[in-house]
Homo-oligomer: A and B are copies of this chain.
Amino acid sequence: MAGRTRYVILGLLSEGPQSGYDLKRIIETRFRFFWNESYGQIYPQIRQLEQERKIRKLDTPDDVRNKQLYAITDLGVKDLRGWMKEPDLKESIRLELLLKVYFAKFASPAVLREHIQAFAMTHEDDLAQLRAFQNELKNIPDPHHNHQDILNVIEFGVKTNLAYLDWCDMMIETLGGLNHDQSK
């Protein structure tokens, strides 16, 4: 009975009405580095929350397209507040890269270096996006008074990504620089 999808939906709807599609996009962009949800989770959960009267479907499709907008209800807010007091689920992290580093002797240094460089590139992008998001927040109004909270989350991402990249530098140095490729 873990089901944190419901709270992600409730939390995001607390900032204003959104569609299932919107929610997916927001989760992908803002929560990318620490959370994920798929359509297969979002749409059924919306149905569920609607039945429980935690959210309600707006009859103003508001958009040119036939988008279904949902808004959080008082009951939904109550649910959200209740969740906040519950202990966190054990965090889950899966980094295949570290398995490969652990079992490194079964690969050539060149192959290992490629894995690390791919990882580094991903996290350089992450870092760049986090920085961009930081700047964006500084230049837009804060109607929900949650910018500081969001900045705190971003700061977590910045710090961990910097740690990742620091480690990557160390590894690349150990494995020999870019021009020491010894693959055939």
Assess whether B111 is in contact with A146, with CB atoms less than 8 Å apart: no
A residues with CB within 8 A of B: 4, 7-8, 11, 14, 30-31, 33-36, 77, 80-81, 84-85, 87-89, 91-107, 111-112, 115, 118-119, 144-146, 149-150, 152-153, 155-156, 159-160, 162-164, 166-167, 170-171, 174
Q: Quick check: A118 and B14 within 8 Å, CB to CB? A: no
Contact of A156 with B98 in the complex, beta carbons under 8 Å = yes
Q: Are B105 and A88 in contact (CB under 8 A)?
A: no
B84 touches A91 (CB 8 A): no
| Alpha-carbon distance A166/B157, docked complex (angstroms) | 12
Cβ–Cβ contact A159 & B167, under 8 A: yes
Q: Which chain B residues lie closer than 8 Å to A89 at the CB level?
A: 94, 96
